[in-house]
């Protein structure tokens, strides 16, 4: 794109926005979020959180040695091009989060005792970050899945411990992000939002009249309630603004859907591409992606080869040579997809750096070893995001450091004010 073309595009952008239309060019400094109010903002920081709920084979994943001079493991060799762009961790887990597969919904929450009677999950890292940062994009977070059992599994949970279903359809996600509803549909949505606003306005009038007859303690309680109502009003106002704001433009064609669960790697690759598109278009700055290997049946290892069993049964390999061989093949292909993601993000300019430098990618699992249902020593890799990487941070394998310590570090890197999350006892310093 040459300079004259850029100048022409920007002029047209200003004119179209004045006419109620805008063209999203998130990589240009002239464009700021709807709430920027003309202030010059720093380049946005982003976060992509990925988990395979059956993990990887631990021996070929974890490297020998520690610190910056560690020896790349067989799996990490696939990422050798980006050695200085990621940190690998060992000796991390969530305290009191054990019970095998029951921990899959706790990877980003660190909620203790998932197998105990009356267990209730808690807020996940993505939702916590979104609360702290506020709605600066159309979607505060996007929650995605691969072969996911929507009714029972998710990486994303509300403060009340309610599961937020993951979107596993790329076309549906594409339409949500880029396809503007027809004027009638938009007006209907605005009307629904306005109706809710009117109800709140009426509620506020009623409560104000009612408060005149209350004592001081009750008035204090009522004031707290009204504060909550006002916060809801603000969210409704935000929703109305985003509903009026045209969705971003993209040159990408709508993706074809992949419904066949056997096409596991193709689906994983597609959802990673959709996650990148969401971040690149600034539709959101926080994405979760749960790879539901547990729900994946017999799948294609290669175009002419299927696995001999479903992913879950393969993971309980009992050291059977053929099962281990297939699992290692699957793990290596996922490392190749991760390499592709890092390469794509590194190739995208973002302000004065690469998109990779402003995007944290966490790859890991709730399972340290699916074969034995072990939930300790979790496979954790963090790439990008502006950290000083290039090392293996090795903690005690028999007395794990809380994974939530890393989560606090990530929250702070995002600009979210937080000194604790989940079971954290501090932060992890990346040199």
Chain segment 364-392, per-residue pLDDT in tens: 999 999 999 999 999 999 999 999 999 99
Give the separation between CA 86 and CA 92, rounded to whole angstroms. Answer: 16
Reported for 223-226, long-range contacts at CB under 8 A and 24+ positions apart, including other chains, are none
Element (H, E) at 402: strand 401-402
Give the separation between CA 318 and CA 62, rounded to whole angstroms. Answer: 20
Span of 230-244, 316-330, 412-426 with lowest mean pLDDT:
230-244
Residue 345 has what pLDDT? 94
Handedness of CA 247, 159, 172, 287 (dihedral sign): positive
Residue 223 has what pLDDT? 66
Residue 29 has what pLDDT? 39
Give the separation between CA 301 and CA 393, rounded to whole angstroms. Answer: 32
Span of 17-26, 62-71, 316-325 with lowest mean pLDDT:
17-26
**Mean pLDDT across 165-178:** 85
Give the sheet arrangement for strand 359-364, strand by strand: 142-146, 286-291, 46-52, 359-364, 380-384, 86-90, 391-394
Q: Across all residues in the chain, what is the average pLDDT?
A: 84
Give the separation between CA 106 and CA 221, rounded to whole angstroms. Answer: 34
More confident of the two residues 85 and 281:
85
Residue 351 has what pLDDT? 83
Q: What is the CA radius of gyration of the chain?
A: 23
**Mean pLDDT across 110-125:** 96
More confident of the two residues 24 and 130:
130
Give the separation between CA 287 and CA 279, rounded to whole angstroms. Answer: 8
Question: CB neighbours (10 Å) of residue 80?
Answer: 9
Question: Which of 325, 323, 356 is closest to 342 using CA atoms?
Answer: 356
Residue 175 has what pLDDT? 77
Residue 237 has what pLDDT? 58
- 54-65 burial, b at 16+ Cβ within 10 Å, e below that, comes to bbbbbebbbbee
Residue 171 has what pLDDT? 82
More confident of the two residues 417 and 30:
417
Whether the pLDDT of residue 212 is over 70: the answer is: yes
Is residue 268 within 8 A of residue 198, CB to CB? The reply is: no
* Beta bridge pairs of residue 386: none
Residue given tokens 């560690």 in the structure block? 70
More confident of the two residues 250 and 264:
264
Residue 10 has what pLDDT? 38
Residue 194 has what pLDDT? 58
Structure tokens at 297: 């049946």
The beta strands (E) that lie in 37-152 are given as 46-52, 86-90, 92-93, 142-146
Q: How confident is the model at residue 241 (pLDDT cuts 50, 70, 90)?
A: low
Structure tokens at 90: 């060992």
pLDDT in tens, 31-51: 344 444 444 457 899 999 999
Residue 350 has what pLDDT? 87
Question: Which of 102, 48, 56 is closest to 78 using CA atoms?
Answer: 56
In a 13 Å sphere around the CA of 397, the CA atoms on its Cβ side amount to 6
**Mean pLDDT across 163-184:** 81
For the whole model, what pTM was predicted?
0.79
More confident of the two residues 296 and 348:
296
* β-strand pairing of 300-302 with 286-291: unpaired
Span of 11-20, 151-160, 229-238 with lowest mean pLDDT:
11-20
**Mean pLDDT across 79-93:** 98
Whether the pLDDT of residue 181 is over 90: the answer is: no
**Among residues of the chain, what percentage have pLDDT more than 90?**
63
Residue 415 has what pLDDT? 94
Give the separation between CA 370 and CA 163, rounded to whole angstroms. Answer: 23
**Mean pLDDT across 204-229:** 64
């Amino acid at each position: 794109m040459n300079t004259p073309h850029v100048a022409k595009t920007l002029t047209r952008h200003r004119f179209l926005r004045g006419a109620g239309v805008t063209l999203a060019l998130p990589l240009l400094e002239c464009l700021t979020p709807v709430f920027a109010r003309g202030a010059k903002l720093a380049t946005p920081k982003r976060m992509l959180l990925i988990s395979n709920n059956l993990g990887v084979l631990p021996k070929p994943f974890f490297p020998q040695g520690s610190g910056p001079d560690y020896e790349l493991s067989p799996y990490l060799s696939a990422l050798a091009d980006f050695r200085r762009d990621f940190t690998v961790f060992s000796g991390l887990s969530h305290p009191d989060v054990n019970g095998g597969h029951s921990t899959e919904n706790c990877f980003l929450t660190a909620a203790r005792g998932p197998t105990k009677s009356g267990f209730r999950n808690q807020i996940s890292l993505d939702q916590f970050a979104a609360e702290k940062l506020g709605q600066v994009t159309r979607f505060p977070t996007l929650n995605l899945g691969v072969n996911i059992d929507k009714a029972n599994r998710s990486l994303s949970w509300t403060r009340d411990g309610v599961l937020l279903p993951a979107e596993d359809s790329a076309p549906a996600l594409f339409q949500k992000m880029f396809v503007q509803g027809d004027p009638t549909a938009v007006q209907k949505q605005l009307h629904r939002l306005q109706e809710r606003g009117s109800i709140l306005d009426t509620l506020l009038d009623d409560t104000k009249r009612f408060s005149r007859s209350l004592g001081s303690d009750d008035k204090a309680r009522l004031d707290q309630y009204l504060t909550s109502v006002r916060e809801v009003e603000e969210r409704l106002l935000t929703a109305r603004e985003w509903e009026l704001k045209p969705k971003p433009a993209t040159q990408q064609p709508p993706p074809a859907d992949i419904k066949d669960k056997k096409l596991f790697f193709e689906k994983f690759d597609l959802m990673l591409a959709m996650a990148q598109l969401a971040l690149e278009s600034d539709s959101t700055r926080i994405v979760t992606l749960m790879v539901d290997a547990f729900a994946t049946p017999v799948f294609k290892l290669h175009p002419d080869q299927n696995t001999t069993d479903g992913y879950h049964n393969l993971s309980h390999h009992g050291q059977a040579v053929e099962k281990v061989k297939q699992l290692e093949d699957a793990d290596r292909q996922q490392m190749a997809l991760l390499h592709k993601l890092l390469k794509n993000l590194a190739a995208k300019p973002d302000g004065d750096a690469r998109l990779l430098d402003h995007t944290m990618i966490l790859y890991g699992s709730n399972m340290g070893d699916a074969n034995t249902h072990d939930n300790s020593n979790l496979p954790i890799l963090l790439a990008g995001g502006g950290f000083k990487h290039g090392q293996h941070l090795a903690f005690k394998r028999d007395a794990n450091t809380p994974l939530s310590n890393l989560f606090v570090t990530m929250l702070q890197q995002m600009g979210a004010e937080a000194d604790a999350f989940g079971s954290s006892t501090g932060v992890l310093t990346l040199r």
